[in-house]
Amino acid sequence: MLHGAPVGWSHGQQVLHPSRAAYLGLVEALYADEFHFCSDLCAVDYLAHPARSLPQGVQPERFEVVVNLVSLTQHRRLRLRVQVPAGEPVVASLFTVHPGTEAMEREAFDLMGIRFEGHPDLTRILMPEDWEGHPLRKDYSVGRVPVQFKAAPLGR
């Protein structure tokens, strides 16, 4: 355990698994431990792969928010994996601790539908405002757009 979060290892990197309720508090504690740089924040949809390696006591959910933090003074990286249920895809925003996450959280919201509570401007960043759905979800229908090539006879 580190700051109350279960710890695992993946590819030689320490991985913390905080609950949604403990997520923001853990990031604040890690900031005090000199993890001042958030290099990445993204979301993962495990709809097609519900079984995955998690520490004992961590309940798998459909979505995961993955955060990579770096301590430049300690030359260390930490990864956080937060389980997010499909029925309530909401986690705290890290904007107050790491303002650089503003665009990353908007992207995760836009493409996966995860809402970041406390975000200053949680609006679409890649898709048009009137777009329906979230295109990186595994159950998102890609649809079909008929293509008509120039000078090709119609109906064939």
In tens, the pLDDT along 22-71 reads 999 999 999 999 999 999 999 999 999 988 999 999 999 999 999 999 99
Ramachandran region of residue 72, left (φ > 0), alpha (ψ -120 to 50) or beta?
alpha
**Burial code of 104-123, b = ≥16 C-beta within 10 A, e = fewer?**
bbbbbbbbbbbebeebeebe
pLDDT of residue 156: 54
Task: Measure the CA–CA gap between 24 and 45, rounded to whole angstroms.
Answer: 21
Q: Domain ranges for the chain, please list them.
A: 7-92
pTM here is 0.89
C-alpha distances in Å from residue 3, one per residue of 20, 46, 57, 75, 81: 14, 26, 16, 19, 14
pLDDT of residue 23: 98
In tens, the pLDDT along 69-82 reads 999 999 999 999 99
Helix and strand totals (H; E) in the chain: 2, 7
Q: Is the pLDDT of residue 146 over 90?
A: no
What pLDDT band is residue 8 in, cutting at 50, 70 and 90? very high
Q: Is the alpha carbon torsion for 1, 47, 87, 28 positive or negative?
A: positive
pLDDT of residue 141: 87
CATH 3.30.460.80 fits 7-92, yes or no: yes
